[in-house]
Structure 1
Amino acid sequence: MVSPPHEAMHRIFQHDPGLFSRVSRFLGVDIPAPVKATALPTDLTEANPVERRVDTLLRLETAGQGPYLLAVEAQGKKHPDKPASWAYYTAYLWTKYRLPTALLVVCQDHATAKWAQQPVSCGPPQLPTLTVQPLVAGPHNMPVITDPEEARADLVLASLAAITHAAEPGVDAILKALSTALRDAPEDIAKPLVEFTAQGLAKRPAKNLWRNLVAVDLSFYKSYLAEEVRAEIRAEVRSEVQAEVRNEASAESRAEDILLILEQRGLDIPEDVRSRVTHCTDPELLRRWLARAVTVPKAEEVFEDACTGSFPDPSRPPTPYGPPSPS
């Protein structure tokens, strides 16, 4: 089963086929912008029962160099079988469509990116019949876009930057810039980018930041992600309010217990003592006062700061219920 980051890393190129030409400058090549793009079937299965499926396949047409195919693969980790699969993809596509074929691999960690960009030959060392060396986009070469204006200039590239840097320390700044830039974007533009970014972050810590940014910075924006975050916030607020109400009720009940014990013991309760007890909202402090109310000889001494020690004078026997013994 494919993961959300896997889907985000290649489907963003389906969403904006021109993104490849803009990404290429970070990869050390100059690919002209397409004037036309067509999504092609991704199933490369032959007549025999061997299934081969590329993640995203696009037919891009340029003004000066003619059409070519772009196969985009999302790679989450090293896999020894992948170079052979990539060689198959490119050879098969070249054979089927008779068009030059480019292979782009998108990664989210440095180790996988370094592994993916190594050339792999299918022939012996002295005869490298077919060599596969894909272009690789990842945290090592994708831009760290932290300026909202720069993000606003290319929202899709900024989203890809966040996806490829999902595990990097700088991702928070990228997400903040992207959310700020999306404030002015129409909903039909913002919506897919919010979702691509959320998919790309998956279960990484930055996902929570993105959820909060979507809920706050894009408060006007309606999506399952934003509504989910707002629902969680509302639930948290309700929970906090309910907890506060319970605490207040508990404090009020404990204060009543303190005063009742003092009254049942026949102790005089000055108004300032009664007021201090009833206005206290600290459950732990009330618990200590309640424990002391059972033994203190005077109501004022229920407060720990009203006597010199933490407990009443041990030379005086406690009088649990009833008036204090005459001294």
Structure 2
Amino acid sequence: MAKIPHEALHHLFREDPGLFTQTVRRILDETFPKIKEVAEIIVDTTSIDAVERYIDTALRVTTDEGEEILVIEPQTEPPSPQKIRAWAWYLAFLENKYQLPASLLILTAKEPTARACRGELSLGPARRPVMRLLPYVIGPDNMPLITDAAEAAEDVPFSVLALLTQRLNPGVEQAMRPLMDALDTLDTDTARYYAEFVEGGLGESCQREVWKQIMKTMTYGYVSELKQEFREEGREEGRQEGHLETAVKTLLAVLAARDLDATDADRDRIRSCTDHERLLVWTVRAATASSTAEVFGD
């Protein structure tokens, strides 16, 4: 299961290889043959000089036009010369190893990065480049924000990809409930999988919290187990808060018992601390310290 946005963007293509064809045709209006068979390529393109280069996702596919290789690479920032050389390395390595043509799909949630990846990606002197890269590029500027449940249900994997590509869009919340409605058209296990996938793909962001809050209000079957997980998370957070509260009270009690003169600033510092281990260290020090300065290590 993908747990971070970077991984989620390319991981989807392993689960549904046909997504590559659908995305390229629908978003880029490019002709790409239908994929009939697929196998993931697990390959480390480490060179003899120990410069490590790993490919995010590489698929060996059989299409109506024969075999080829698909490389899917998420990209956060505009590509540096080093990154362009790495992409060239991936493609040349795979073509040479498997003697098959390779295509590169770049995915990004940032418009400036998408525009940069569609620009001049070349190797060699500017006066006469020796190689040019022509990747497919998908970003928030050409990926639709799907806000209609019926449209989302027509192709759920694509709708998941669309939401994750648009995750930095301030209006992405408009696409969340329609996607949740679309998930209800799938079997329970598959719907639950995609719901968890989206949560992980949104990363540690406010959008992820919005997704979780909306999920808590849903009554669909696939949400029931997720709600249980949310309740467990809430209980665990409550337990952690309870432990912190106990640790704070214990430390303050030790300070009072030893007549250590804690100022209002000291008490505020203790009450605002959310690190249980640090509170424990301060409590141990308080048992023998002669001042609060020694307790805090100041």
Question: Normalization by structure 2: what TM-score?
Answer: 0.72
What does 1:136-151 correspond to in 2, within 5 Å?
A: 136-151=137-152
- Percent identity between matched residues is 35
| Structure 1 residues 48 and 235: CA distance shift in structure 2, 3 A | closer
For 2:11, the equivalent position in structure 1 comes to 11
| Structure 1 residues 223 and 35: CA distance shift in structure 2, 3 A | farther
Alpha-carbon separation, structure 1, partners of 2:58 and 2:220: 35
What does 1:264-283 correspond to in 2, within 5 Å?
A: none
For 1:23, the equivalent position in structure 2 comes to 23
For 1:307, the equivalent position in structure 2 comes to none
For 1:176, the equivalent position in structure 2 comes to 177
Are the equivalent residues in 1 in contact too, given 2:3–2:197 (CA < 8 A)? Answer: no
The alpha-carbon deviation at position 222 of structure 1 amounts to: 6.0
1:173-199 C-alpha deviation (Å, 9 max, x unpaired): 111110011123112321331122112
| Structure 1 residues 206 and 88: CA distance shift in structure 2, 3 A | same
For 1:109, the equivalent position in structure 2 comes to 110
What does 1:1-327 correspond to in 2, within 5 Å?
A: 4-25=4-25, 26-63=27-64, 65-80=65-80, 81-217=82-218, 219-221=220-222, 226-231=227-232
State the number of aligned residues: 236
1:107 counterpart letter in structure 2: T
| Structure 1 residues 203 and 6: CA distance shift in structure 2, 3 A | same
The alpha-carbon deviation at position 3 of structure 1 amounts to: 6.9
The alpha-carbon deviation at position 210 of structure 1 amounts to: 1.2
Are the equivalent residues in 2 in contact too, given 1:72–1:106 (CA < 8 A)? Answer: yes
Are the equivalent residues in 1 in contact too, given 2:163–2:172 (CA < 8 A)? Answer: yes
The alpha-carbon deviation at position 42 of structure 1 amounts to: 3.5
Alpha-carbon separation, structure 1, partners of 2:78 and 2:195: 28
The alpha-carbon deviation at position 224 of structure 1 amounts to: 7.7
Task: State the SS of the aligned residue for 1:145.
Answer: coil
Query: C-alpha root-mean-square deviation of aligned residues, in Å?
Result: 2.5
1:13 counterpart letter in structure 2: F
2:5 counterpart letter in structure 1: P
Alpha-carbon separation, structure 2, partners of 1:166 and 1:42: 30
Task: State the SS of the aligned residue for 2:61.
Answer: strand
Gaps of 5+ in 2: 239-298
| Structure 1 residues 222 and 172: CA distance shift in structure 2, 3 A | closer
Alpha-carbon separation, structure 1, partners of 2:195 and 2:33: 27
Are the equivalent residues in 2 in contact too, given 1:42–1:55 (CA < 8 A)? Answer: no
Alpha-carbon separation, structure 2, partners of 1:160 and 1:4: 13
For 1:293, the equivalent position in structure 2 comes to none
Deviates more, 1:75-84 or 1:95-104: 75-84
**Structure label with greater radius of gyration:** 1
Alpha-carbon separation, structure 2, partners of 1:43 and 1:227: 40
Alpha-carbon separation, structure 2, partners of 1:91 and 1:195: 36
| Structure 1 residues 69 and 22: CA distance shift in structure 2, 3 A | same
Alpha-carbon separation, structure 2, partners of 1:48 and 1:151: 47
| Structure 1 residues 132 and 226: CA distance shift in structure 2, 3 A | farther
The alpha-carbon deviation at position 50 of structure 1 amounts to: 2.1
Gaps of 5+ in 1: 238-327
Task: State the SS of the aligned residue for 2:140.
Answer: coil
Question: Normalization by structure 1: what TM-score?
Answer: 0.66
